[in-house]
Structure 1
């Protein structure tokens, strides 16, 4: 494979809690470049999310502008706004992308919300003169549901439906792009094999996969990242289980390098559209209100973290200046004593 000189962004797409953070860290260690402002880890993900928190806040705002939210289970297909409003959001996104990534040759954009806002972000990349390489991690939806139950108290039906929607959106919006489907469990058991398959699918090597990077990746992708294995049979999940099983089978086959027919994905999208017609009016306003509060809390949390980082940096600088002053005073005292 030949390394190209054109700029290309790595987009990590898929559902929250589905291995996107681990995939993003692997890509970052292998040479893709994270943005200036990255969401730190917390009690739910101690190793970090590797998400551009300013872009995440922007995406939350854009979803709310269309009356949706990140956990709206019927947010498919993409909801375009009026032409003037859509153009304004795109211009803001282009400015934000440039501010976060500058002239990085291989920007790494990992925010699950991009999956359902992919038409917007593809236009942003095109205007910024950046190509796209898509990586979609595949994790069992019941494992995702277990993680969301612990973090957000979501019922399994909602989590499985959300997983299905995000995976459908990611696949539909990236069909004409270089893309790779990556097994999350495979990353934790044999990441080198997954990376080799990823590079073949993308048609390009990772930017800087050195031996040092490989050692760091091996130290990061440990079994303790497998917090939830998922329990029970997916097909038994009420309302959405059989549909999700069909979608999972498709993505599992794709992650193995196969090219399955898209009929199961199209059928699942049609089923979600029907559910939205029947129940969407009951769900979306609730998720919209909850998401607004969550986004505000996230924004305040990140501002507080930035303030703490700046205070610590100033304290470190003051400490270094004091040490240097003490060293100079000691040199002066020694010189004076020798006269």
Structure 2
């Protein structure tokens, strides 16, 4: 059975998350979605969208189910899936989680990619973050949660732009925090299509690196990589957030990838906010391996049926706080050297035995 895609909708208080969600839910193609409001307060959906409700589940006029989570998200997702299998609720094919405006989305993404009983049924499809054009800069200066919300986004939606005729400073700050992210104006987008696109299976845009295929981008200047790889790197010195991409031209073997996953699970902690990547494997050149993780929690390895585009290099995107790109680069280089030595010893032993 195919895993159900989960889209996380995040953004700071008053940034327009619920307004965007309301617009999306009017899309007929989202009639079989489930909305989970991970919030301490009441469900913040427009009154006209609500048709009927029970203690925990709200039926929206377009057919969506909505529930409010004040406790365990794992329990909620598990219960929803079991009710779906038993036919107690409609067979939903998409989940949208609206997070609390005061929280960053890492704990929610951790549940999706790592929790037992969840990762076998659901998959993280993407993170959409709303940013307020009027108050966004002040919010980023005052609240670290908002910085993480932006840095972790796959797509950023700028709201209230009609009230701010000169949003250039906000756009620049958002791009510093998340240089590879698609930035959209809420006035010009189809909200339903945005959510549905986020649920598409690993769109190619999510894996694009810089326009310098063998170099590293840092502060707008290209630098040559070394060995057979490169990394694309931007840093917001005020925010302490770094987002960079490790690129490898040569395919990896299974041992190298296994060592990397083990090293990240063992050595990473709160500093590693998110990691996602497509891996070119020696034994399966036509099908990339996919890795997802948050902090020390790594999703079990999965595979795509085919590459999403012509670029078949290994690309791993890291989002960190207070952890330099060079530390991750060094870790991966050490793993590659260890794998190479292990292969060489194994090959010598095989040759001697032959």
Larger Rg: 1
> Relative CO higher for 1 or 2, CA cutoff 8 Å, sep ≥ 6?
1
Specify which structure has the higher proportion of strand.
2
Specify which structure has the higher proportion of helix.
1
With the shorter chain as reference, the TM-score category is: 0.3 to 0.5
